[in-house]
Amino acid sequence: MDEYSKFDEFESASQRGGIFPGLLLPPLMVIIVGLLISLISSGIAINQSVNAESFNNVSNPSNSQNNGNITGLDLSDSSQGILALVFTPEVHYWSNEIARWSMMSGLDMNMIATVMQIESCGDPFAISGAGAMGLFQVMPFHFLSDEDPFNPETNAIRGLSYLKKSLEASNGDVRLAFAGYNGGISIINRSEDNWALETQHYAYWASGIYSEASQDIESSDRLQEWLGMGGTSLCNQAADWIGMNP
- At 138 the three-state DSSP class reads strand
**How many helices (DSSP H) and strands (DSSP E) are in the chain?**
10, 0
Alpha carbons within 13 A on the beta-carbon side of 62: 0
Given 11, 119, 192, 225, the catalytic residue = 119
Q: Is 179 helix (H, G, I), strand (E, B) or coil?
A: helix
Pick the closest to residue 175 from 195, 152, 159, 155 (CA basis).
195
- Tell me how many degrees the CA angle 82-184-81 measures, rounded to the nearest 5: 10
Q: Which of 108, 64, 43, 118 is nearest to 88 (CA)?
A: 118
Q: Does residue 119 have an active-site annotation?
A: yes
Residues annotated as catalytic are 119
